[in-house]
């Protein structure tokens, strides 16, 4: 009787140990999304972001002084609306985040200057409310009346929520 109980206990301990080992195994992280996919999801949720800029058009927005180092960027996407803009940059390394955030902030300043000179109140309100954020090796900016909802959508996608 004692021998059977010892064998059963030993088997249970082996099963528990194997279960713990399996649950602690390193899982492969989910692949991070392409900037264009994120931007398309934003366009799907916010129909006013209907203007998709091609890469060469978007590059001109950031490289006015020919000093933007695109070699730090794996991919990027820019969507515009009448009153706003969203830009998403996926970087090769998170060591370039500060550099790209600085360049995105320069773009936001340009949006503010343009909106101010145009006198469009909605554009000016969105531009003055614009913000640049980062998560991991992504940098993104939003100039839009519903900026917080757009940021939440981006960040939920990046976090895999």
Helices (H), the chain: 2-23, 35-45, 55-62, 97-118, 121-128, 147-159
Q: Domain-by-domain residue ranges, the chain?
A: 31-159
pLDDT at 61: 83
CA distances from 22 to 10, 25, 27, 32, 92 (A): 18, 5, 10, 25, 32
Q: Distance between CA 15 and CA 110 in Å, rounded?
A: 62
Q: Residue 60: what pLDDT?
A: 85
Give me the tens of pLDDT residue by residue for the chain, a chain 161 residues long: 667 767 765 665 557 765 555 555 444 345 788 999 999 999 999 988 889 999 888 888 887 666 788 999 999 999 999 888 999 999 999 899 999 999 999 999 999 998 888 887 888 888 899 999 999 999 999 999 999 999 999 999 998 86
What region does 118 belong to: left with phi over 0, alpha with psi -120 to 50, or beta? alpha
Instruction: Read off the tokens for 108.
Output: 């936001």
In whole angstroms, what is the distance from residue 127 CA to residue 114 CA?
9
CA distance 53 to 5: 71
Q: What pLDDT sits at residue 12? A: 57
- Residues 86, 79 contacting (CB under 8 angstroms): yes
Residue 30 CB neighbour total at 10 angstroms: 7
Q: What pLDDT does residue 43 have?
A: 92
Please give the pLDDT value at position 25: 46
Chain centroid to CA 84: 17
């Amino acid at each position: 009787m004692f021998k059977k109980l010892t064998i059963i206990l030993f088997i249970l301990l082996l099963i528990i140990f194997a279960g713990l080992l399996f649950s602690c195994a390193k899982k492969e992280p989910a692949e991070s999304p392409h900037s264009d996919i994120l931007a398309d999801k934003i366009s799907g949720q916010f129909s006013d972001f209907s203007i998709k800029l091609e890469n060469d058009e978007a590059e001109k927005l950031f490289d006015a002084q020919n000093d933007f180092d695109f070699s730090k960027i794996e991919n990027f996407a820019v969507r515009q609306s009448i009153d706003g803009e969203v830009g998403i940059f996926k970087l090769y390394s998170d060591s370039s985040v500060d550099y790209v955030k600085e360049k995105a902030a320069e773009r936001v300043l340009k949006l503010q200057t343009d909106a101010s000179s145009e006198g469009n109140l909605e554009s000016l309100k969105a531009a003055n409310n614009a913000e640049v954020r980062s998560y991991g090796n992504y940098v993104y900016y939003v100039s839009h009346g519903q900026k917080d909802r757009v940021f939440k959508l981006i960040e939920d996608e990046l976090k895999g929520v």
